[in-house]
Amino acid sequence: ELKEWKASHPDKQKLKREEIRHGNELQNRVDILHETLKNKSGSADLTIETGGLVVDCVAFQDSNEIWRVLIDTSESGDLREQKALASYHIEHEYIRLNEESQLNVCVNIYEEGNLVSLVTDVGDHGTHVASILAGYHPENEDLNGVAPGAEIISLKIGDGRLGSMETASSMIRAISMAASLGADIINMSYGEGSTLPQKGRVVELMEELVEKHGVIFVTSAGNSGPALSTVGSPACSSDSIIGVGAYVSPGMMQSQYNMRDEVKINETNYTWTSRGPSYSGNLGVCISAPGGAIASVSEWTLNQKGLKNGTSMASPNACGGVALIVSGLLQQNIKYSPARVKRAIESTARSIENLDRFTQGNGLLQVSTAFEHIVRESIDSNPELWYLDLPFQVRVGNNRGIYLREPVQSIKPSKHSVTILPKFNDSESYEFDVVNSNDNVVAHWPTSYRNKLQVRLNIKVDVDWIKAPKKVFLHGKQSFDIIVDPTKLAPGQYFSWLKVYDEARPENMGALVKVPITVIIPDNGRSQLLGDTASFTNVEFGPGTVVRKFLQVPDGASWMDYKIVVPKESKSVYADRFFYVHCLQMSKLGSYAKDEYKTRAYLANEAGEEIIRSVAVKNGTIEVCVAQFWKSEGTGPVDLQVRFRGIEASPSEATMMAQNGSVAKVVLNSKIRSTRISPSGKLKFWHQGLRPEVSLTKLYTLRSGYRDEILPFRLGSSYIRRPIWNLELQYKFKQLEAGQVKPNLPNINDLLYESPLDSQMCMLYDENKQLIACTDAWPSSISIAKGNYVMRVCLRHENEEVLSNLKQTILIISRPLGDPISISFHKTLSGTIDGSNSFAPCFLDQGTERAVYLKVDPSKLPKGAMAGDTFTGSVTYCSRGSREKGWGGDGRPNGYPVSFVLPVKRENTSRQKLKVQVEEQTEDSKSKVIKTYVVPSIKSRIAVWKSVNLKHKDMFEQETKEILNLIEKYQDSNVEEIGDLKMDLLRIFIDWAVAEHQNSPNADTVSVVEAACNRLLDSIPDGILDKNPIAKVDFDDAEEKTKPEKDFLKHKSNLLKALAVKVLVKLGIKGEMDATIETDLQTIAKFSVASDPLINQIKMER
């Protein structure tokens, strides 16, 4: 074919675009065949690795205008015997790929047949979950699921390219499809750790699905216990979602796990089930349900049934129970809402004896009791209780509960402002475009209902360390203060609910709102003067026992050794027992996945047998959780001993870069005890930054249709579509030798549920355009051969502007170094120049400091390294001599991070030539670099925060702090845009401060607004407004002005904005004039014009 094409197209200069594309395609095919033959070393086997079976599909529209697909499963080209499949939701038809695989396939057809999706299993997890929920076996009811015969809509969110990992795009598609197909309840047996547990696009859309579309959302809490604060997203991310922990009963123990009759174990939750509270303070685990089952699995496994356990199994069990409740309500024509159902199942759950709230939540789901609870208070028989269908948002500051974990939080009483916010969906004509809408769901209230909300509330607490008002009148958003006084609490963990009851309802009907409060008191005291050891002797353990010890890490400790020992007097009758040891130390904007250390170990029943491990630590509270696995038989005591070790390194992350002569100085301080110092370290990874190919960047909307739209709906007579924008970026790089690469998008990767984007996906192609691998939120290493590659990145969002600001996103390609680069250590700075004064091992006495200088030999860097590339690794500062007999590691596990930035390579010239070159590098050339690269980058980062959303406040504060530092770095340049960007950012600070004040008006938020306004005022150059070359000028009359006039208008606008906002906020709080307000008003009058809306607003306030 290629020869024929070349013969028919002899003149390359006259080729059309399509002809060139076809010719390249033929050439790529031949290249792949040649490469395959070369790799096979003469073998006749021409098999090419494609990543899966390749089949031909033909899409067509039948006489009924239904799109259908024929799949050539025989690979013969003969389609006469193939079944013509429609999209699965239309006819529920599927085919078997072949008898050998037993794999079933269905299809979805989009875009008028131009896009065909072949849907298969990624695993048997989903089949097992569906069987638990709704398995229906009329011939043998013992095999039935919890809600036998319930209609199932199977929405696949596990991506086969990522090993069944869920993606943001798959979840958003599923959310939209669930709404369009009229789902009543969603079960989601998925979840991950989250750094911002109440934020993110996916979470926002899940809340919208529940609160506006009336869909009940049930999900697994996670399998990441037994330590506290291990509940995952989305369970911990929204008050509207029902998170489920995994329970195991004695009956389950016998029937599923073959437990012998003489072994008596009480009902409990599985050892590994995730625990609350979340980092945001809410419990996360709402209820518990049976977390194990023998249920149906996929046919391709060649098994009919399988035993699986996990919160993935507890969630469908609970979801099946909720389905029974909803089914009963529909049969009796009783209206309900997701909020009413959630409140009922939490209020009626049965408390599991001897199990803490962090583990079981409100308790074990009780279907019949919850159903009766809803019926008794139904809106039909109790119309005055209409507000029970409202979701109520609870906030304590920016959190959803109170979580006092660190010692500084418990040394004195603390005051907390609790806010209760009823969430109305005001649209009276909100009608969703669904196939099967449920008229019994209460999902909206006319605006007039806001005025009807008047509820008298009683507040009750069950403990004496919480003080709260007894009564509150709720007539909209309502705040009140409470006091938490943990000063007299003994070491341990404490939990209580602040319960808010409705006076019009009996208390046995449950609280209207509950505020979770958690307090941790460290076992080694609150004092900053701590010892370096902690010991707990003869701690009794049996099946399912969980013991938590919270320890305050002494100042200067960098790692911790723990030891679990069988005491000499142990009389356990079993040979060994299985233990989990789970350590977790929370960090700001962290998650359990990043903050934990977990191990599993068997402990033989012999005196002196021990488990010893080392864990990296930092200042703060660390939980050491030891748990005997629930079905590990045997009882008896163990001793738990902990010893803190190490030195303090400043900085803890050393960076060698050109600005400091490619040398890093680190000061070591031994605060715990005398420690032997013998530093060593290596650089192990190579990171290259790539810019996108500008000519290949594309920004466009995805085709309309349910597959890629965000929850479309009807509003009145209009059909409101919410299209998704897609930004496509391409990066090219060369791999000099076979090895591994790991793509990374800084500030985008490592975020899924909390990500501000709708989707992210990286696809790696070789030079023959063959897809090699895909990565998503958590990129993994990819093995590739030598050659040229293209990384295609797709980012999605509903807002075009958000993506426009990401067009210059940098992609980092990381590679492990085949030969790690050793770091040299020196006593003095001069030693890094001539190689002298190598740092010899020595003892660092307690309380003393010593500096060490780190140096890397650039000649050891790999071939292909370029200016700006970064190399990272780790260093340890302690040595074998630091280890004590019978204890753990010799240094901080994984060491301290270290990096080396390759400086710009300069020509080998004399001093005189170098001086001339520097002089020739004019200010204009420097300004050009800043204008070309720095300004667009800062501008795009600022633009993201122009739209105020207080849900993202933490992320806003962190990001804008970095942006401001970057602006100030270039403030002294002659680039005018840098100053303008700073003023833009300062104006945005005011907008966010005002939004926070409007959300919670008080003296503190007024101070925040004033501070933001003063920062903008301080940025106005002295005297610039005294040099007005013109009279008063309207804001809009800024065209065709001279530069002095434009500068004057710009700074005048900033002056008026800052002063007007200050005046409006102070008038709103004080309600009267004072001297400062009068002064500000005089200044405003001097520079303002009548058409300014802020000025009109001030007049109205006065």
pLDDT class of 38 with cuts at 50, 70, 90: low
Q: Is the dihedral of CA 201, 218, 323, 146 positive or negative?
A: positive
Bigger pLDDT: 329 or 1079? 329
- Alpha-carbon distance of 818 to 839, in angstroms, equals 26
The pLDDT tens digits for 346-367 are 999 999 999 999 999 999 999 9
pLDDT exceeds cutoff 90 at 515: yes
pLDDT of residue 101: 86
pLDDT for 915: 42
| Contacts of residue 1061, Cβ cutoff 8 Å, sequence gap at least 6 | 990, 994, 1009, 1013, 1094
The total of other beta-carbon atoms located within 10 Å of residue 907's CB is 7
Top-confidence residue, 229 or 1087: 229
Which range, of 110-119, 262-271, 933-942, 1036-1045, averages the lowest pLDDT?
1036-1045
CB atoms within 10 A of CB 300: 18
∠ CA 88-94-95 to the nearest 5 degrees? 155
CA-to-CA distance for 186 and 315, rounded, in angstroms?
10
Rounded CA gap, 486 and 483, in Å?
A: 10
Does the pLDDT at position 948 exceed 80?
A: no
The average confidence (pLDDT) of the chain is 85
Using CA atoms, how far apart are residues 141 and 1079, in angstroms rounded to an integer?
Answer: 81
The torsion angles phi and psi of 907, rounded to 5 degrees, stand at -70, 150
Confidence band, pLDDT 50/70/90 cuts, at residue 111: confident
The reported pLDDT for the residue numbered 437 is 57
Q: How would residue 74 be classed by pLDDT, with cut points 50, 70 and 90?
A: confident
Residue type, 556: G
Q: What is the DSSP letter of 703?
A: P
Q: Which helix (H) or strand (E) holds 389?
A: none
Contact (CB, 8 A) for 252 and 292: yes
* Tokens read off for 450: 């806001």
- Residues 380 and 30: their CA atoms lie apart, in Å, by 73
Q: Taking residues 101-120, what's their average pLDDT?
A: 91
**Count of C-beta atoms within a 10 Å radius of residue 336:** 24
Strands 896-901 vs 654-656: parallel, antiparallel or unpaired: parallel
Q: What are the phi and psi torsion angles at 361 (to 5°)?
A: 70, -135
pLDDT at 914 exceeding the cut of 50: no
pLDDT of residue 181: 87
Q: What is the pLDDT of residue 46?
A: 46
| pLDDT greater at residue 538 or residue 1037 | 538
- Which residue, 293, 262, 334, 350, is CA-closest to 125? 293
Structure tokens belonging to residue 653? 């992350």
Pairing type for strands 216-220 and 185-188 reads parallel
Report the sign of the C-alpha dihedral through residues 869, 873, 878, 879, in that order.
negative
417-446 pLDDT tens trace:
999 999 887 554 334 444 445 678 877 777
Q: Tell me the backbone φ, ψ of residue 721, rounded to 5 degrees.
A: -100, 145
Residues 260, 265, 271: CA angle, nearest 5 degrees: 110
Residues 6+ apart with CB under 8 A from 403: 277, 279, 280, 281, 518
* 981-1025 pLDDT, tens digit each: 888 888 888 888 888 888 888 888 888 888 888 888 888 888 777
Query: Which one has a higher pLDDT value, 241 or 1075?
Result: 241
Is 921 strand, coil or helix? coil
pLDDT in tens, 154-172: 999 999 888 899 999 999 9
What's the pLDDT at 1039?
A: 43
SS3 track for 1028-1056? CCCCCCCCCCCCCCCHHHHHHHHHHHHHH
pLDDT greater than 80 at residue 716? no
Q: What's residue 106's pLDDT?
A: 95
Find, among 952, 703, 925, 933, the residue nearest to 807 by Cα. 933
At 708, the pLDDT band (50, 70, 90 cuts) reads confident
Task: Report pLDDT digits (tens) over 960-983.
Answer: 887 888 788 777 777 778 888 888
**pTM confidence score:** 0.78
Scan for tokens 């990272």, then name that residue. 872
- Bond preceding residue 651 cis, omega within 30 of 0: yes
360 closest CA partner among 297, 455, 283: 283
- pLDDT of residue 888 exceeding 70, the answer is no
**Arithmetic mean of pLDDT, 129-136:** 95
Can you tell me the distance from the alpha carbon of 479 to that of 453, in angstroms, rounded to the nearest whole number? 15
* Most confident of the following: 314-328, 828-842, 880-894: 314-328
Flag whether pLDDT at 223 surpasses 60. Answer: yes
Predicted pLDDT at 582: 95
If 0-12 CB within 10 Å is exposed, 13-18 middle and 19+ buried, where does residue 925 land? exposed
Q: How much of the chain, in percent, has pLDDT values that exceed 70? A: 87
The CA distances from residue 89 to 151, 155, 178, in Å, are 12, 11, 12
| pLDDT tens-digit map of 355-404 | 999 999 999 999 999 999 999 988 888 888 888 999 999 999 989 999 99
User: Which of 130-134, 556-560, 808-812 has the least mean pLDDT?
Assistant: 556-560
- Indicate the Cα dihedral angle 740, 742, 743, 747, nearest 10°: -160
Q: What is the pLDDT of residue 1076?
A: 79
Handedness of CA 69, 74, 75, 81 (dihedral sign): negative
The CA distances from residue 356 to 189, 363, 490, 518, 956, in Å, are 23, 10, 17, 12, 36
Cβ contact 498:382 at 8 Å: no
pLDDT confidence of residue 523: 87
CA–CA distance, 609 with 712 (Å, rounded to integer): 62
Degrees to nearest 5, angle at CA 98 with 97 and 99 = 140
Place of tokens 């097992």: 128
What pLDDT score was predicted for residue 25?
Answer: 85
| Top mean-pLDDT range of 770-779, 913-922, 946-955, 1011-1020 | 770-779
* Radius of gyration of the chain measured on its C-alpha atoms: 33
Q: What is the mean pLDDT of residues 843-847?
A: 89
Name residue 753's beta-bridge partners. none
Distance of CA 1029 to the CA centre of its chain: 53
* Single-letter amino acid, residue 413: P
Whether the CB-CB separation of 577 and 612 falls below 8 Å is answered with: no
pLDDT at 943 over 50: yes
According to the model, what pLDDT value does residue 434 have? 42
> Residues of 834-872 as b/e, b for ≥16 C-beta within 10 angstroms?
eeeeebeeeebeeeeebebbbbbeeeebeeeeeeebbbb
Burial of 37 per CB tally in 10 Å (0-12, 13-18, 19+): middle
Confidence (pLDDT) at 897: 94
Query: For residue 374, which of 350, 407, 342, 402 has the smallest C-alpha distance?
Result: 342
930 vs 70 pLDDT, higher one: 70
If you search the block for the tokens 């969110």, which residue do you land on?
Answer: 157
pLDDT at 489: 94
Q: Are strands 675-690 and 870-878 parallel, antiparallel or unpaired?
A: antiparallel
* Mean pLDDT, range 770-793, rounded to an integer: 93
Judge whether 803 and 773 are in contact, CB under 8 Å: no
